[in-house]
Structure 1
């Protein structure tokens, strides 16, 4: 069953007018990501982007996460929970062609940052695949 999302005009305008952060927080209570101007991101989210690049996820999911051989992560992260994401990436889904990344130390170490980056793309807060780190 697919969930429907409704965003009011007021909420949408608020998101555009101020720097975006994830609506759901992580266990520590901090936002998953921070993004300004659609492509300037916090240090952790930047690490997620670097992890994406180093694992060459774009070979299957496309350079803009919109899918190729593998599914669109823009769409999948609208429904995957953080735990489902971790399981899929670390254990793989060989029946679907998704390899396990549990042996990849960088992916295992930065799985939460990778999720934050992809969630920001899926949420529409990060508007382009290539990001730069916020200067603070």
Structure 2
């Protein structure tokens, strides 16, 4: 099977099952989404971290920005390392507090990134998600 046939087969599977996934640089799956709002357990932890840290106060309930910037747009350009640094160290000059001392955020930074990256990529189509059965 050549590359083109393999790509077509992959897209056919995605279309059949409504599954969207993104791979990280190491080849690990970053998130899995079905029907735009059903996510894997780790991505669900990211959503819960988003809610518990009240990130929506600045970035809006749909991550589209308010006082803080749109994370839908920011995550199109920020690397995972840059995202982690901003969240854990903050950008006080821009009004972004540090969450490095918040254990819920610090312990779930990868999951938070996965959730927000899924939103930014358009795979997660609703800000509110539910865990896959």
Max radius of gyration: which structure?
2
Please list the CA deviations of residues 69-103 of structure 1 after superposition, one character each: whole Å capped at 9, or x if unmatched: 00000000000000000000000000000000011
Please list the CA deviations of residues 28-59 of structure 1 after superposition, one character each: whole Å capped at 9, or x if unmatched: x3210000000000000000000000000000
Q: Structure 1 residues 90, 126: CA separation in 2 closer, same or farther (over 3 Å shift)? A: same
RMSD: 1.8
Q: Unaligned 5+ residue runs, structure 2? A: 1-6
TM-score by length of 2: 0.87
Number of residues of Structure 1 aligned to a counterpart in Structure 2 = 123
Q: Which aligned runs of 4 or more in structure 1 are off by greater than 6 angstroms?
A: none
Quote the offset at 1:26 in angstroms. 5.3
TM-score by length of 1: 0.85
More helix by share: 2
More strand by share: 2
Checking the alignment, whether the CA contact within 8 Å between 1:93 and 1:100 is kept in structure 2 is: yes
Give the match's secondary structure for 1:33: strand
